[in-house]
Amino acid sequence: MSKVWTNAGLTTVNALFREACAERPDRIYLDFSGQTFTYAQVDDEVARLATGLKALGVERGDRVCSVLENGPDGVFVWFAVNRLGAIHVPINTDYKGEFLRHQLNDSGSRIVVVESEYARRVAAVEDGIPALEVMLHRGAAPDVDTRLMLATLDSIRLEPAEDVEVEVAPSDLAMLIYTSGTTGPSKGCMMSHSYAVHLGWQNNCISQAGPDDVIWTPCPLFHAGAVCGVVISALIGNSIGSIYPRFSVSNF
């Protein structure tokens, strides 16, 4: 057990995904309520977004925020950001006003990826976020007055012309996941690649999920329970990660 634990600490989210793609490219990896993606398909989506983000100037150590509902792009954006050696900052989709301003500003992000319906929330607080320059939106163009460069997420899905992956270490940050802020403004928890992999490994040890299993969650992709407990854990166990839009008592 200790040997497995040690090995888990000597890898990264990027390396774990890269190895899985090489071993099982045609295996279904993610399932979003019936919309499935193989490892090869996820890799292609990630490569295209990483190419587009690089064209926007994203480099190692940069932070990229997302305010996205549970869906494929929630994972694709995260993996694309990490592929560039940058840090993903997923934000609670219910946040607005000062709660939203604090996390966008505190993270020092220059780019935010949002659902179109949340663009107005960002525009309403953008004056208090001097580092923010670009807002990429999913879906129809939002009717919003903003100083930010506004573009669709689809517009940066570029055909990968080169290998843009930046080599990262297990100790490098993969994500900033903010606390709920019960004792004051939310704090950004610095989650390294090693920590993310370990958390996924721990979940896998508890669940014992393997190739014949599906790991299902209604938890949001701005929370470690979904990103590590399902997306990473499925990578480790060769399981299918199934992500539901959000928890519903009547549909459960």
CB 146 within 8 A of CB 135: yes
Q: Which pLDDT does position 251 carry in this prediction?
A: 76
Give me the chain's average pLDDT, please.
93
Q: Which pLDDT does position 1 carry in this prediction?
A: 36
The residue ranking higher by pLDDT, 97 or 9, is: 97
SS3 91: coil
The encoded tokens of residue 94 equal 């219910």
CB 188 within 8 A of CB 175: no
Averaged over 187-192, what is the pLDDT?
Answer: 94
Averaged over 163-185, what is the pLDDT?
Answer: 90
Averaged over 216-220, what is the pLDDT?
Answer: 94
Q: Which pLDDT does position 201 carry in this prediction?
A: 93
The residue ranking higher by pLDDT, 206 or 182, is: 206
Which residue bears the tokens 């008592």? 249
Over 90: is that where the pLDDT of 144 sits?
A: yes
Over 50: is that where the pLDDT of 2 sits?
A: no
- Residue 161: pLDDT band with limits 50, 70, 90: low
CA angle 240, 189, 171 (to 5 degrees): 75
- Residue 210: pLDDT band with limits 50, 70, 90: very high
Residue count (the chain): 252
Q: Which pLDDT does position 163 carry in this prediction?
A: 83
CB 199 within 8 A of CB 193: no
Cβ-in-10-Å burial (0-12, 13-18, 19+) of 210 comes to exposed
Q: Which residues of 116-154 are buried (b: 16+ CB within 10 A; e: fewer)?
A: bebbebbbbbbeebeebbbbbbbeeebebeeebeeeebe
- Residue 9: pLDDT band with limits 50, 70, 90: low
Cα pseudo-dihedral 122, 123, 124, 125, rounded to 10:
60
Averaged over 163-187, what is the pLDDT?
Answer: 90
Averaged over 9-14, what is the pLDDT?
Answer: 85
Q: Which pLDDT does position 12 carry in this prediction?
A: 95
